[in-house]
A and B are shown apart, each in its own frame.
Chain A
């Protein structure tokens, strides 16, 4: 209900927004340049005050995929519990997007995690460091072109033997 109204207003306001519905949930696909405006619009004018999650999907080698990274924002309203999924596409060589930490402070760690795992750069993020992996890590391991067993990260330690401690 509220989602339908919001999606209608969104498509009227931002040309080029695609929307559809999947199992009763609204999904919109927006251009990366207008993503910040779309999220601000949904938050301020359509009560989607709650940012549930930010995540990313790497569509490398995916059937029929035309873009590489699908960046996903999940929003909800606090009163009705209505939800909407906002998606945008990013591509190599510079997967860059504007941060939403100015809209939701809670986006801070979510964006750090997406940076850590996928290497998406959030411009304007106050502290874009790795959050889960150690700082010395050099790759973004949830990218599909990263080998499952790593590039030797798990072996680069000195072995402690008996009598050395």
Chain B
């Protein structure tokens, strides 16, 4: 079913167009609390040049950012600050947990260090390493770009927890199409 299009005209979905714009202009919020922050700085500096991936504009104001990179361990005194900054960022927003400490607490299994920021804020990408090399962080950003492109919607439906959980629950309950309340054909206007 070929459609005749004029020159320089492409057809796409609005969701994909929005995701394409978003993924190529991620503005990171550098939440660098420890040694991983040094690698984060190296990633932004000229040798590794995060600008190649459209993510070089580090902003220190959460209102201007849409990608939080938590680089370093977060202590319990810092966690309310982290949560507040996360809440101050505008949707759509993503989070990269950089390094062993941010992801799991690392070697710091002490009374003060939070054992993984994903217990308290949502995380999209985990970067292993202590510290991760800049290449690993760049890989995480590329993977995040793929994620944004693949599942992003212009209205941010991918952030809606309830609808994300639904397909999983449907698998567990072995539903029958058309009969189970969790496994119905989505209305056509949503599928587009």
Contacts and interface: CB of A to CB of B under 8 A. Distances in A.
A133 B79 CA distance: 13
A159 B119 contact: yes
Given A133-B77, A134-B76, A134-B77, A161 B161 contact: yes
B116 to A, nearest CB: 10
Main secondary structure, interface of B, reads loop
B130 to A, nearest CB: 20
B53 interface: no
Contact of B112 (A150, A159, A162): A150
Interface string A46-89: 00000000000000000000000000000000000000000000
B39 to A, nearest CB: 25
B165 to A, nearest CB: 11
B111 A141 contact: yes
Interface string A133-165: 110000001000011111101110111111101
Interface of B: 76-77, 79-80, 83, 86-87, 89, 91, 93, 109-115, 119-122, 159-161, 164
19 contacts: A133-B77, A141-B112, A147-B111, A148-B110, A148-B111, A150-B111, A153-B112, A155-B119, A157-B79, A157-B83, A159-B119, A159-B120, A160-B83, A160-B121, A160-B122, A162-B122, A162-B164, A163-B160, A165-B93
